[in-house]
């Protein structure tokens, strides 16, 4: 019998981790929720979910997680960021000017404009961007294209555009997933994206190993 | 591009799914966990639970049902009914709800909207608005007596508020609602179609997504709500519970009419 891969879900006190925990378990992992920086430092794999506001995320980093996460990323600990856990990898966000993300990737998180229009009907698009959308890319795990569940009002704009491995379309293309080294981060919610989400979590567990 | 969402709605009372006509005359329509799992497997984009018993003594029953349902579905779950305090939101989110719908309590205390959005983010907050068309009302102006054309009702449709539904929707959007669940009480359970005028006016009047609810009887009604009404998502109950149409039939029809939907077989068996 093979051991279930261990994965630590980082609890930054931002919203509900239950669906992430359940989805990782269903994908074959043995997830534990951690909230202490020492536990982050010791993790074999990190999953950083997050709903809510960038400022709260930055504050949670300042309460002791900034160094632990930065060091873990530096060591090549596999990291899966979801939504705010993706935003937090960047330097700053329009959502909370002055608040500092991890700065692992250069770039900003910017507001989805309510001036975006549907490319077919011309209708003004709603914000938050909420619901199922297609993510496509040139490489795994997005080379097949697939539908994922989104709910967000801000998007990441990496300075290095080659980081973007999955994009989606909402009145223009936006960055739906980034990947670099042992870091994978997505704007959508794999834990709410049924079969596709399940496949993405399995992909992370299978292909992302500690360096 | 974003797909329009199809959302089966389960009205839950005493831990069972029930369905009434114009908010009264309830009959049993099954076990909520089984229904939700079936719809999720069948291609539903989200599931909504409205606890219409909503008494605080029954809260533990609801939380248990929510928790078992959340474990059984792979799509987002919205839960509403009897949410009056931030602690109710916390309990529902902890039980596994992804979004929480607030109705009467938001009318009584609009600051609750800001408080919930401020604590958990606007994406968790659906404000449910039950609207009734007043006699003599005309969309071009005010109602016959100078009151609103569409009035907001609370307490499961039992209490009029005098509030104009359109203005109220704009207010909740401003205060921090992430989405509006808009129910036409006149159409609820009638199978006569959504109130398209109400839906269109609200959908055009706010910058957040609007879920149309109340009145679906045919496939064409759903297309009308999404296209003519401009709703971002279509919620329906009876047609699904009574087995009139499956989610797959709804989506097949919409796709044939050029409405963008997520295919029901999408991602099934997908593996990494």
Catalytic residue among A21, A83, A92, A152: A83
The whole-number average pLDDT for the span A76-92 is 97
Does residue B130 fall inside a structural domain?
yes
Question: A62 or A14: whose pLDDT is higher?
Answer: A62
The whole-number average pLDDT for the span A98-103 is 96
Encode burial over A159-196: b for 16+ CB neighbours within 10 A, e otherwise: eeeebbbbbbebbeebbbbbbbebbbbbbbbbbbbbbb
- Mean pLDDT of all residues belonging to chain B: 90
Run of H or E residues at B120: helix B111-120
Catalytic residue among B51, B91, B130, B164: B130
Per-residue pLDDT band at B243 (split at 50, 70, 90): confident
- Mean pLDDT of all residues belonging to chain A: 93
- Cβ <8 Å between A19 and B70: yes
pLDDT 10s digits, A18-41: 889 999 999 999 999 999 999 999
Does any CB of chain B come closer than 8 Å to the CB of residue A117?
Answer: no
The C-alpha atoms of residue A201 and residue A29 are separated, in whole angstroms, by 9
Model pLDDT, residue B175: 97
Lookup result for tokens 């997830």: A31
Model pLDDT, residue B105: 94
The whole-number average pLDDT for the span B153-159 is 88
Closest by CA position to B86, among listed B47, B117, B48? B117
Longest dimension (CA), chain B: 62
A137-146, B81-90, B133-142, B169-178: least confident range: B133-142
Per-residue pLDDT band at B142 (split at 50, 70, 90): low
The C-alpha atoms of residue A95 and residue B17 are separated, in whole angstroms, by 40
A211 pLDDT exceeds 80?
A: no
B230: chain A residues, CB-CB within 8 Å: 123
The C-alpha atoms of residue B140 and residue A153 are separated, in whole angstroms, by 33
Model pLDDT, residue A14: 74
Longest dimension (CA), chain A: 55
ipTM of the complex: 0.92
Run of H or E residues at B174: helix B165-175
Does residue B85 fall inside a structural domain?
yes
Distance of residue B272 Cα from the nearest chain A Cα, in angstroms:
5
CB pairs under 8 A between A and B: 129
pLDDT 10s digits, B67-125: 999 999 999 999 998 899 999 999 999 899 999 999 999 999 999 999 999 888 899 99
Active site residue B130: yes
Give me the torsion for CA of B237, B238, B244, B249, rounded to 10°: -10
Task: Tell me the two tokens of residue B201.
Answer: 């006016």
Number of domains in chain B: 1
Q: Which of A18, A130, A132 sits opposite B96 (nearest CB)?
A: A18
A164 pLDDT exceeds 50?
A: yes
- Cβ <8 Å between B209 and A131: yes
Residues of chain A with pLDDT > 70: what percent? 98
The C-alpha atoms of residue A149 and residue A157 are separated, in whole angstroms, by 20
B141 pLDDT exceeds 60?
A: no
Does residue B263 fall inside a structural domain?
no
| Angle value at C-alpha A141, between A138 and A144, nearest 5 degrees | 60
B233: chain A residues, CB-CB within 8 Å: 131
Task: Tell me the two tokens of residue B145.
Answer: 């007596």
Q: Which fold has domain A6-207?
A: Rossmann fold (3.40.50)
Does residue B268 fall inside a structural domain?
no
The whole-number average pLDDT for the span A100-104 is 97
Residues of chain B with pLDDT > 90: what percent? 69
Model pLDDT, residue A117: 84
Question: A129 or A1: whose pLDDT is higher?
Answer: A129
Does any CB of chain B come closer than 8 Å to the CB of residue A143?
Answer: no
Does any CB of chain A come closer than 8 Å to the CB of residue B211?
Answer: no
The CATH number of residue B142's host domain is: 3.20.20.70
Model pLDDT, residue B137: 58
A190 pLDDT exceeds 70?
A: yes
Q: Residue B92: helix, strand or coil by DSSP?
A: helix
Task: Tell me the two tokens of residue B20.
Answer: 């009434």
- Per-residue HEC secondary structure of chain A comes to CCCCCEEEEECCCCCCCHHHHHHHHHCCCEEEEECCHHHHHHCCCEEECCCCCHHHHHHHHHHHHHHHHHHHHHHCCCEEEECHHHHCCCCEECCCCCCCCCCCCCEEEEECCCCCECCCCCCECCCCEEEEEEEECCCCCCCCCEEEEEEECEEEEECCHHHEEEEEECCCEEEEEEEECCEEEECCCHHHCHHHHHHHHHHHHHHCCCC
Per-residue pLDDT band at B271 (split at 50, 70, 90): very low
Overall residue count recorded for chain B in this entry: 272
Overall residue count recorded for chain A in this entry: 211
Task: Tell me the two tokens of residue B137.
Answer: 């009302």
B263 pLDDT exceeds 50?
A: yes
Q: Residue B110: helix, strand or coil by DSSP?
A: coil
CA distances from B179 to A174, B170, B246 (A): 22, 11, 25
Q: Range of B164's domain?
A: 5-256
A130: chain B residues, CB-CB within 8 Å: 123, 178-179, 209, 232
pLDDT 10s digits, B168-198: 999 999 999 999 999 999 998 889 999 999 9
């Amino acid at each position: 019998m093979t051991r279930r891969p261990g994965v630590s879900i980082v609890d930054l006190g931002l919203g509900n981790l239950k669906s992430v925990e359940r989805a990782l378990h269903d994908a074959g992992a043995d997830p534990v929720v951690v909230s202490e920086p020492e536990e982050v430092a010791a993790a074999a794999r990190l999953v950083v979910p997050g709903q809510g506001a960038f400022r709260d995320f930055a504050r949670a980093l300042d309460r002791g997680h900034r160094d632990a996460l930065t060091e873990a990323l530096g060591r090549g600990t596999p990291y899966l960021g979801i939504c705010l856990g993706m935003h937090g990898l960047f330097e700053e966000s329009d959502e909370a000017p002055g608040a500092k993300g991890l700065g692992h990737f250069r770039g900003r998180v910017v507001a989805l404009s309510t001036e975006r229009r549907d490319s077919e009907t011309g209708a003004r698009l709603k914000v938050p961007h909420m619901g199922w959308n297609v993510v496509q890319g040139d490489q795994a795990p997005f080379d097949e294209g697939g539908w994922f569940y989104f709910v967000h009002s801000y998007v990441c704009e990496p300075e290095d555009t080659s980081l973007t491995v999955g994009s989606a379309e909402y009145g223009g293309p936006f960055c739906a997933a980034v990947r670099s080294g042992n870091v994978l981060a997505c704007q959508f919610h794999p834990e709410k994206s049924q079969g596709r989400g399940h496949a993405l979590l399995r992909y992370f567990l299978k292909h992302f190993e500690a360096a | 591009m974003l797909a329009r969402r199809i959302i089966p709605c389960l009205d839950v009372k005493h831990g069972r799914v029930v369905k009434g006509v114009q908010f009264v005359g309830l009959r049993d329509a099954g076990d909520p966990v089984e229904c939700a799992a079936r719809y999720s497997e069948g291609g539903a984009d989200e599931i909504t639970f409205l606890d219409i018993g909503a008494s605080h003594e029954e809260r533990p029953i609801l939380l248990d049902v929510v928790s078992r349902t959340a474990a059984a579905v792979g799509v987002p779950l919205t839960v509403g009914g009897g949410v009056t305090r931030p602690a109710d939101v916390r309990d529902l989110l902890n039980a596994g709800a992804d979004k929480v719908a607030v109705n009467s309590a938001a009318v009584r205390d609009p600051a609750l909207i800001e408080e919930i959005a401020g604590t958990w983010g606007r994406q968790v907050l659906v404000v449910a608005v039950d609207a009734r068309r007043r006699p003599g009302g005309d969309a071009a102006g005010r109602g016959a007596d100078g009151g609103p054309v569409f009035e907001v009702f609370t307490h499961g449709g039992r209490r009029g508020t005098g509030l104009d539904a359109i203005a109220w929707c704009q207010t909740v959007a401003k205060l921090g609602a992430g989405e509006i669940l808009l129910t036409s009480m006149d159409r609820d359970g009638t199978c006569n179609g959504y109130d398209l005028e109400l839906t269109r006016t609200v959908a055009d009047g706010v910058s957040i997504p609007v879920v149309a609810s109340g009145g679906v009887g045919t496939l064409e009604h759903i297309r009308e709500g999404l296209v003519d009404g401009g709703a971002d998502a279509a919620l329906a109950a009876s047609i699904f519970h009574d087995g009139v149409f499956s989610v797959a039939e709804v989506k097949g029809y919409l796709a044939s009419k050029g409405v963008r939907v997520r295919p029901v077989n999408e991602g099934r068996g997908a593996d990494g």
